[in-house]
Amino acid sequence: MPIEQLKTGFGRGGKQLGCPTANLSSKDLGDLLEQLPTGIYCGWATVDGKGPYKAVASIGWNPFFKNKEKTVEPHLLHKFEKDFYGAQLKFLITGYIRPEMNFSSLEALIKAIQDDIAQSEEWLDTPEGKSWSHDALFQ
């Protein structure tokens, strides 16, 4: 799923959750966003042609925060020195982690995010998971 530009999000990924996200514009996704089932996914991403980097993404309504708009929010499993707002992101979904769900506390949400990251890392390190990092999308 190639996306032309990132947008500024709510600012909670990095600040509240310790998990900065590359928020994708729902306008750029068009009908694709409606077709994507909500949930947590893993995959590979490039930023301005650099990478690919491992990624985990939330697709959905983020019920804990009561979002009114369905979003795609990839978290790249790489330490970047600065924000990359306005950059071109290409994101390839390669695996499904779990359904979207609500949480009783911020701490429970953070724990689930940490588990999602660990599970994504594990899958993306398998031979099958790694093979997707060479997909034609990134050439």
Rounded Cα gap, residues 87 and 5, in angstroms: 5
pLDDT at residue 41, as a whole number: 95
Number of domains in the chain: 1
* Residue 86 pLDDT: 76
Q: Read off the CATH number of the domain in which 23 is found.
A: 2.40.30.30
Residue 84 lies in a domain: yes
What mean pLDDT comes out for the span 122-132? Answer: 98
For the cut 60, the answer to whether the pLDDT of residue 129 exceeds it is: yes
Q: How many CB atoms lie within 10 A of CB 53?
A: 19
Q: Is 34 an annotated catalytic residue?
A: no
Residue 105 lies in a domain: yes
| pTM recorded for the entire structure | 0.85
Q: What is the largest CA-CA distance in the chain?
A: 42
Judge whether residue 4 has pLDDT over 50. no
Number of residues that this document lists for the chain? 139
Q: Domain containing 9: what range?
A: 2-129
Residue of 4, 34, 69, 73 marked catalytic? 73
Residue 135 has what pLDDT? 94
Q: What is the pLDDT of residues 75-115, one digit of tens each?
A: 999 988 877 777 888 899 999 999 999 999 989 999 999 99
Contact 17, 107 (CB under 8 A): no
Residue 9 is predicted with a pLDDT of 47
Per-residue pLDDT tens for 5-52? 454 445 554 555 566 677 776 777 778 778 889 999 999 999 989 999
- Classify residue 139: in a domain, yes or no: no
Domain-located, residue 136: no
What is the DSSP track for 6-26? B----SHHHHTSS----PBPH
